[in-house]
């Protein structure tokens, strides 16, 4: 089970990295400093896909360890909400033709989901108590 927990932790940092790259890229497109491209959709797909993977790994850890402490449940529920938020914004952005509006939607999706993730991590680390 330690292997899955280590993977869960590693994927977390990759999510932060891809999220920050996607957010900065969206801001560059939004401000007109970079043109919109297929890379923007790829970054959002990578971001949401990694979020999905990490939720799965986290659920395996919780079920595998059999630890149903309140902070683990709060952490899991909060992070599932973050994943849903990221998917909603990514799906809406995918349907938008206007490049700047798409960039705004991507930036908001990444920012809001990362803020929710910070809240979720605070439960597991005891910061929210």
For residue 126, report the phi and psi dihedrals to the nearest 5 degrees: 85, 5
CA 58 to chain centre: 14
CB proximity list for 116: less than 8 A, separation 6 or greater = 78, 79, 81, 82, 85
Average pLDDT over all residues of the chain: 93
Q: Mean pLDDT throughout 92-110? A: 96
The rounded percent of the chain whose pLDDT value lies above 70 is 96
Length of the chain: 129
Q: Buried b / exposed e across 43-75, counting CB within 10 Å, b at 16+? A: bbebbbebbeebbebbeebbeeeeeeeeebebb
Confidence bin at 60 (pLDDT 50/70/90): very high
The pTM for the full model equals: 0.91
Confidence bin at 123 (pLDDT 50/70/90): confident
CB proximity list for 34: less than 8 A, separation 6 or greater = 25, 28
What span, in angstroms and rounded, lies between the C-alpha atoms of 101 and 30? 8
């Amino acid at each position: 089970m330690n292997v899955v927990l280590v993977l869960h932790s590693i994927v977390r940092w990759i999510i932060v990295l891809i999220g920050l790259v996607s957010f900065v890229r969206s801001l560059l497109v939004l401000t007109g400093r970079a043109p919109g491209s297929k890379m923007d959709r790829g970054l959002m797909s990578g971001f949401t896909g990694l979020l999905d993977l990490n939720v799965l790994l986290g659920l395996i850890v919780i079920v595998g360890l059999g630890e149903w402490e309140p902070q683990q449940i709060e952490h899991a529920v909060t992070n599932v909400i973050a994943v849903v938020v990221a998917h909603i914004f990514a799906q809406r952005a995918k349907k938008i033709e206007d490049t700047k509006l798409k960039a705004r939607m991507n930036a908001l999706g990444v920012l809001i989901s990362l803020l929710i993730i910070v809240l979720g991590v605070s439960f597991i680390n005891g910061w929210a108590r």
